[in-house]
Each structure stands twice: as C-alpha cells, then as structure tokens.
Structure 1
Amino acid sequence: MKPEDLGYNESLEKYRVEHNLGGFEAGRVVAAHKERYIVRTAEGEFEAEITGHLRFTAKTREDFPAVGDWVAVSPFDSGLAIIHAILPRSSVLKRQAVGSSAEVQVIAANIDYAFLVQAVDRDFNVNRLERYLTICHASNVQPIIVLTKTDLIDRTRLEGIIQSIKARIKDVPVIAISNETRSGFKELQAFIRKGKTYCLLGSSGVGKSSLLNNLSGRGIMRTDAISRSTSKGRHVTTHREVVLLESGGILIDNPGMREVGIADSSGGLETTFESIAQLAQKCKFKDCTHTAEAGCAVLAAVEAGEIDRASYENYMKMAREKSHFEATVAERRKKDKAFGKMIRNIKKDIRKREE
C-alpha cells in the first residue's frame, strides 16, 4: 500500500522534508485508544506512542494525535513505533469535550466529507442535524445528510422528512438509504472519490456500523439490534477507526455521540444559519441579541414566518453555548497566565536569594 492510498499528498511531503522530518516515515493514525495509536505506513500497521517531548509540549487535547492525522514516525521490527510529530491538518472536526466546559475534543482530522447519519424511524431530529452541520462548517468539512432505515417507514412519511430537512437546511445533499435492501447506495457511492477522506457522524444505533460494513463490502464492525426496552441503539463502536474502501475512498467510523457541544470559533454557526446571520446585519443595533430589541430584523423575520421559529430557537441555543464556551476558555487562559506569572516571580526570587 502506498501512502497516497491513504490520502497522502505533495503538500504533506513538502512539509515533512522542509521541517527535517525526512528521516522518519509518514504514517496515518487509523485508530486511537487513549494515548496509544495504530499508525498505518507503507510498510504496514504499528502500535505507536508519542515522544515525551510531544507530550510535554502539548497545551491542550488538540495537540495530541487524532484519528486521521498524518504523523512522522519511526517504526521498529517489533511492530511498535514512536510518533515524533503531527503533520499539518487540512481540517479538524471537533466539539466541546464531554464533561468539560473549556476543553475541545478532536473527533477526527483531515476529513474532506462527513456523512451525517440519522435513522428515520426514531432518531430523526433537524435540530441535531444543524448541530452536526455547524461543527462541519467550522472545520471546512463538506456535509452530506444520510437518512437510514428507510425500509421501516412508508414513502409518504419519508418524503415528509426530506421536505422538513430541505425547508431548514439549504444546499446540503440528502440521501435516503436502507442497509437492509441497499436502496440508495448507488447514489451514496457516487459521492465517494479515491483519495478523499470521509467520516460517519451520528448517534448510537442509527446504522453507522452497518453502513460501514456495506460500503466496505466486509463485516468489519459489529452491529447490535435496537434495545426493545428503551428503543435506543446499543453502543457498539467504542473508538475511531479508518477503513480503506474498494472505491479508493477512506472512511472513518466514530462512536455514537450523545452530546454535540458547540466549540465554534470559525464561523460555522453563521454558515449553518446563513439567513439569520445575513438578517442580523440589518438589525438596528450592532450588539443586538435577537431576543427583545426593537428594530431586530431577525425577530421580525421570525414573526413574519420568513425564518422557521424552531430553527431560530436552535440557533439561539447554540449561540449561547458558543458564547459560554468562549467566555470559559478566556477565563481559564487568564488564570493560566496569572499562574505562569506567579511561577516566574517565584523563580526570580529564588535566583536572587541564591545570588
């Protein structure tokens, strides 16, 4: 297998050479388990760890390798390898880390397209789709909406679901499939191109693992039935993994995400809710909160039925999450800066005493 088969390109090779990493091999992280990684190179797969220097200089979770990353590694005959550096990322899918108000979790790196997977029989929720769209737009990843389990509902209901999506979400492909009958797979496979990287985003039990198995033509990921007692999907995938498809596409499966916290600093929210963002420019006050102000163009459009009220409410909820996250990060950085200053002063005092 050549590195190019996994998405390696001239830009990455140029960086590797220019930054004196030519003595290491280029490999792609295809699976991650805490701080141990599986890296695939032209020579095969290796179980890898990062260097102490890389661990010491990491300031946040984003500085650690993630599935999809290209890394400079030194492999050994034992099947082990050491990761010395992470090569530049073309995109980074991320969300607020679960259980942390000021940390970011990297979902996957170097993604070109994201399949946003929802099951039409129970999981369908446009608000959640808008959340996935926001993290995609913030990461410069092209989204494709995939509706699964279409064999479980009638055609009329399916068409109604598709129309409800298109009423709120513009210019994003919507593909309806069945993992049982393979309906819609030809349309889906038309989006898969050689050398491009795709990932699956969705809740547990929506059919992501079955979709991966069908696209790969192999029974790679184990699948479980829906729990009869809760009507919820059983959580099967517990880590991220890269699969090379026969078509030449590269597919990353992700664990089901119960929470999709917004950590948007790149305009993803504005892109997802483009019509609201454009109307906000017409508000009477520049600092309009779009809640109760006179002359608010957004509220006027909602009252006139020009903006879907549910979409507006979802936008406002995510905007509050974004503001809270950014404020929390800013406060943490302020505290870290003060702590660093205190440590420097202590060291300075110790040096003076020693002199």
Structure 2
Amino acid sequence: MDTLKEIGLSDWFQSHIDQNKLATHELARIVAVHKDSFMISNGKQDVFAELSGNLHYSVESATDLPTVGDWVYADFYDDDTHAIIHGFVPRKTLLKRKTAGKLVEFQLIAANIDTAFIVQSANENFNLSRLERYLVMINQSGITPVILLSKSDLLPQSEIEELTTSILTTYPEITVIAFSNETRENLDKVRDLLISGSTYCLLGSSGVGKTTLLNSILGSTKLETQTVSKKQSKGRHTTTSRELLQLENGAMIIDTPGMRELGNMSVDSGIDETFSEIIELMQHCKFSNCSHTKEKGCAILSALATDELSEQRYKNYQKMKSESAFNDMSYSDKRKKDKDFGKMIKTTLKNKKR
C-alpha cells in the first residue's frame, strides 16, 4: 500500500475499498486516458489497460466509465505489461461537463481531484462569464478552486491589481495568483500550493499557458505548447488527452485539453454556491414565490436598482440556471429512450432464442 499512497491513496479511499474485490484483484490508479484506452499505475510502473467484458457491457452512461484519477480494481498479465480493469473505487470528487455540441451526455474530465486551477490569461482571455462556468463545475464537485491569471507580464501592475481585486470582491475566499511563464513571476507561489499526496488539475481554454505552466513546474519542456492565434484570440489545442503527472515533491497534477465550449448540467448546488449572494438575497424577498421580475418587496430588483448586484452577474446566473434545467430535462429524456431501446433489444433477443 505504501507505493499506492505515493500516488494519492489516502485514508478516504482506503476506507471505501471493497475488500472482497481487493481479495481477487489489485488496486491501481488511472494515470492517462487516450480515447478508449487507459494507462494505469500500481505505484511501481505504468501499464496499458482495457475494460473487462462485463464492465464494458454494463456501462449505461459516460459516468459509468473510469477516467483519469480514478482508483480501479485490475488484474495484471504478461509480467505486468498488460492489465484488465474490473471496476473502480467510489469517487471522492468528479469533474464533468456536458459534451460539446448538441449531444446531451456527460463528458468526464478527471476524478478524485483535490484542487482545480482555473487558468485565464490576464491580458486577452479573461472572461468573467467563463470563469463563473468553471467555478460552477468545480463547486458542484466539492473541489477547491484556485484562480491563476497568466501572462501578467503583458499588463501594467496596476491593471493586474485591479483585475485581482475585482475577482476577490466577488469571491473573497478564493486564492488568486497572477503569474508569468516568461518572467517567472509568482511561479514559486503556485508551486507552494502543490502538496505531496494531493491531486490537482489545470483547467482553461487552449493557449492560456496551462502546458507552459506545467513545464515550468516540472522544470522541463516535456510537454508541447502552442501559442494563441492572434487572428481569433483562441488557443490551438496542445493537450489532446488527460494525463496525471507526479511532481518531484510528490504532488500529482493533471493537464486537461482546452475547453472552448463549457456547458453544465445537473449543477444546481454548484450554481447556488458560485452565486451565493444571489441566493442570499432571494431569502429576503417579501414573497416566497417571488419571480424577481416586478413584485414589490423583491430583494433582487432592489439590489439591481442600487447596483448592489451586478446586472450582468444576475443574467449569468439566470442563463446557467435555465441552461442546466434544459440540459437536465433533455438528459432524462435521453436516458429513458436509451433504457427503453435496451429493453426492446433484450426482449427481441429472448424471443429469437425461443
């Protein structure tokens, strides 16, 4: 178990291990996901792995699949050069989002993350609405968020301080660090946040400096980087898969592919926590069923009128609430159709056998 502790096996996970499964399988952690294949670690070496037939055919949705950061039960073969995954340990946390486009399904980002770094470039990429979307996703998962403002060398210090203050005014309990990969300003402060045995991930759009930051932390140029397109101010995708890397001090960190589209669903608690001041204001409305549109005694309308509450922030809250509700309803309909289709197939197969 000592080697597994070095890659994040804490007391919490040990208390959630199925001893019956552990009696017949070994414990390992997924350290990389490449489309349909996995790389797992037993604390000694990384081994290519695939799902067992039973696990593969029991999958009903994306959340039933293992993802990077998961602890799994596995059997190792051929001198530990190949492995079969038979199940996974309950997750402490799970980062997921709605898949890009019209498909209503979850896309798993990473599991068992302790702290998520949201990276936005201070000079050209910073977007409060996008930041709020990341915070909703992170808060929903019960993960600690940290905001990192990259490329701080491209703005005057006064503007960096103004931007930091504006974030802390809304989110006073969140750590915000402005840093530069070029001048190496405040990189030591980022490193100081990385604790041995804990797992972290980097989130943000392509081209904001996530991979360059990770290279700076690793002290190498192991990972490829690309710049932001000046024409569209959008980064080119550098990281195309998710991989868990262990740092020299024992901390583990996951770089994730850049996200140009960040849709959320099933995130009511994450929205409420991210927009906690709006939820608090609603408690002071005169009527419990207040629609916050025209009622007298509406605390929301009063706060908007006095600029106590930003109109843009309230619009973002409403937009995410309605979007999440719509996606939840669509997802429920999809699951019902999938289950009905599955029952039909099973019935057809049974009748064919008869």
Does TM-score exceed 0.5, indicating one fold? yes
Q: State the number of aligned residues.
A: 352
Equivalent pair of 1:94/1:263 in contact (CA under 8 Å):
no
What residue is the counterpart of 2:30 in the other structure? 29
Q: Give the Å deviation of 1:269.
A: 0.2
Deviates more, 1:160-169 or 1:67-76: 160-169
The answer as to 2:324 corresponding to 1:322 is yes
Q: What letter matches 1:271 in structure 2?
A: E
What SS class does the counterpart of residue 210 from structure 1 fall into? Answer: helix
Percentage of identical aligned residues: 41
Q: Report the AA paired with residue 211 of structure 2.
A: S
Structure 2 counterparts to residues 10-21 of structure 1, below 5 A? 10-21=11-22
C-alpha displacement of 1:97: 1.1
Distance in 2 of aligned mates of 1:262 and 1:72: 30
Q: 1:203 & 1:49 partners in 2: Cα distance?
A: 30
Q: CA deviation at 1:41?
A: 1.2
1:84-233 paired onto structure 2 within 5 Å: 84-233=86-235
3-state SS of paired residue (2:40): strand
* Alpha-carbon distance, 1:17 to partner: 4.8
Amino acid corresponding to residue 87 of structure 1 in structure 2: V
Q: What secondary structure is seen at the aligned counterpart in 2 of 1:22?
A: helix
* Comparing 99-108 and 47-56, the one that deviates more: 99-108
Corresponding residue SS for 1:8: coil
1:6-27 deviation digits (Å, cap 9, x = unpaired): 1012343344352332332211
Contact 1:139 1:266 (8 Å CA) reproduced: no
Distance between the aligned counterparts of 2:257 and 2:184, measured in 1? 23
CA offsets, 1:61-108, max 9 Å, x none? Answer: 011110111111112226211111111110001111112453111110
CA RMSD between the two structures: 2.3
8 Å Cα contact 1:16/1:22 also seen in 2: no
Label 1:292 to 1:241 Cα distance change in 2 as closer, same or farther (>3 A): farther
Q: Is the 8 A contact 2:38 2:48 kept in 1?
A: yes
The secondary structure found in structure 2 opposite 1:205 is: coil
Tell me if the contact between 2:7 and 2:43 (Cα under 8 Å) persists in the aligned partners.
Answer: no
Q: Which secondary structure does the structure 1 equivalent of 2:244 belong to?
A: strand
- The answer to whether residue 48 in structure 2 is matched with residue 68 in structure 1 is no
Task: Name whichever of 182-191 and 172-181 sits farther off.
Answer: 182-191
> Shift of the alpha carbon at 1:294?
4.6
In the alignment, what sits opposite 1:48? Answer: 49
Using the TM superposition, give the Cα deviation of residue 217 of structure 1 relative to its aligned residue in structure 2, in angstroms: 1.5
Q: For residues 276 and 101 of structure 1, what CA distance do their matches in structure 2 show?
A: 31
Structure 1 unmatched ranges of 5 or more: none
**2:206 touches 2:228 (CA, 8 Å); kept in 1?**
no
Per the alignment, in what secondary structure is the counterpart of residue 235 of structure 2? Answer: coil
Amino acid corresponding to residue 108 of structure 1 in structure 2: A
Query: What amino acid is aligned across from residue 49 of structure 1 in structure 2?
Result: E
Q: Tell me, in whole angstroms, the C-alpha distance in 2 between the residues paired with 1:82 and 1:345.
A: 30
With normalisation by structure 1, the TM-score equals 0.92
User: For 2:347 and 2:242, how far apart are their aligned partners in 1?
Assistant: 44
In structure 1, the partner of 2:247 is 245
Q: 1:81 maps to which residue?
A: 83
For residues 284 and 332 of structure 1, the distance between their equivalents in structure 2, rounded to whole angstroms, comes to: 39
Q: Deviations over 1:293-317 (max 9, x none)?
A: 5543222211221111111111111
The question of whether the paired residues in 2 share the 8 Å contact of 1:119 and 1:147 is answered with: yes
- TM-score for both structures, normalised by structure 2: 0.92
Could you give the per-residue CA deviations for residues 192-212 of structure 1, whole angstroms, max 9, x where no partner exists?
111010000000000000110
Amino acid across the alignment from 1:220: K
CA distance, structure 1, for counterparts of residue 228 and residue 346 of structure 2: 56
8 Å CA contact retained: 1:92, 1:108: yes
8 A contact 2:21–2:73 mirrored in 1: no
Which amino acid counterpart does residue 193 of structure 2 have in structure 1?
F
Distance 1:212 1:347, change over 3 A: closer
User: Are the structure 2 counterparts of residues 266 and 227 from structure 1 closer, same or farther at C-alpha, using a change threshold of 3 Å?
Assistant: closer
**Mapped partners of 2:267, 2:234: distance in 1:** 33
- 1:264 CA displacement: 3.1
Q: Which residue of 2 aligns with 1:313?
A: 315
Unaligned 5+ residue runs, structure 2?
Answer: none
Residue of structure 2 aligned with 1:260, choices 255, 259, 262: 262
Does the C-alpha gap of structure 1 residues 228 and 308 become closer, same or farther in structure 2, counting only changes over 3 Å? closer
Change in Cα spacing, 1:14 to 1:172, as seen in structure 2 (3 Å) is: closer
